[in-house]
Amino acid sequence: MNTLQRACCLALIGMAGSGLAGLGLAAEVKPILVIHGGAGVERADMSPEDIAAARKALEQALRAGHAQLAAGKPAVDAVATTITVLEDAPMFNAGRGAVFTHDGKNELDSSIMDGATGKAGAVAGVHRIKNPIQLARLVMDKSKHVMMVGDGAETFATEQGVSLVDPSYFRTEKRWQQLQKSLKEEASGQAHSDLETAKHFGTVGALALDAQGHLAAGTSTGGMTNKRYGRVGDSPVIGAGTYADTKCAVSGTGWGEFYIRSVAAFNICARVRYGGQDIGSAAKAVINEEIPKAGGDGGAIALSADGTAAFPFNTEGMYRGWIGADGVPHVAIFADDPLPLPKP
């Protein structure tokens, strides 16, 4: 090897170490999974046992999703798996822990989006689907539609071999008592006395970046305590509560009407794609500035294609966490909880 050849080889090695940019090749992608279990968490309403249970559930969900990414599965698989675990955990307002409507029923909404293909699926107002995120995935993969609602969505579920559960499966005493308190406050003309019974909080969500550099997002919720008349919030609305493209993924949690009006999830990603903002600035601008200015509140998780994550929220707490390629889960609940941010 002559001097010129040796110099060329060294230059190529240097370019490889700096991300292979000089060769026009993509750098190695470090898979990451980001989750939330809802904003609006109040410390005064949680016992030490509640806090421990929530942290454990968040960690279990992160490990389940990480196992999918570690096995080389696509981001949408990790998102669906993660949210399924959160839906099964009764401390979150989704699936098993869903809140009650004014009529004493549980109505579930969910959506999922594959950033690599732009495909999406959603369900709303279902009563007998144990894991709505799985049905949303089937709508995306097995139908020509994006959203199905109510009885029609459940008919589609049966056609796809999904077993329906008795609505009593979703009943938890804590959520039932929240409805009773809300009904009494409503009857007396009293405003909600605390965030625990505030109508607009609660949701779970997950975002994933897989080894191929593809993003996905998903969200699931039981909606609002004491909601009426078939109300649907932002969680199943693509662009409002859930969105993913090739550069950005977002899942929201908060006062759904304001997330719909501001097209919150897409708004964040549009700021990244078209406005050149970093993910943290974009998420903060929408969640902590634009939505509060309009009268709403809540939080979100956001993830960019380089593995940068953001966790903006404007309530006392938001269940949240992430897990990287090393498989170590990081979770937090309140605003003053330390949550180290992932390093791309």
Q: Is 246 a catalytic residue?
A: no
Question: Is 230 annotated as belonging to a binding site?
Answer: no
Distance between CA 134 and CA 196 in Å, rounded? 28
Confidence of residue 191 (pLDDT cuts 50, 70, 90): low
Distance between CA 101 and CA 247 in Å, rounded? 37
pLDDT of residue 7: 42
Q: Exactly one of 81, 84, 203, 315 is catalytic; which is it?
A: 203
Average pLDDT of span 181-205: 69
Question: Is 233 annotated as belonging to a binding site?
Answer: yes
The per-residue pLDDT for range 293-325, each reduced to its tens digit, is: 999 999 999 999 999 999 999 999 999 999 999
CATH numbers and ranges of domains, the chain: 24-334 (3.60.20.30)
Question: Is 99 annotated as belonging to a binding site?
Answer: no
Confidence of residue 13 (pLDDT cuts 50, 70, 90): very low
301 contacts 320 by C-beta, under 8 angstroms: yes
pLDDT of residue 195: 46
The per-residue pLDDT for range 232-275, each reduced to its tens digit, is: 999 999 999 999 999 999 999 999 999 999 999 999 999 999 99
pLDDT at 157 over 80: yes
All residues at 6 or more sequence positions from 181 whose CB lies less than 8 Å from its CB, including other chains: 193, 197
Alpha-carbon distances of 23 from 15, 27, 49, 278, rounded to whole Å: 7, 10, 53, 25
pLDDT at 278 over 50: yes
Average pLDDT of span 35-42: 93
- Whole-structure pTM value: 0.89
Among 202, 244, 207, 239, smallest CA distance to 100 is for 202
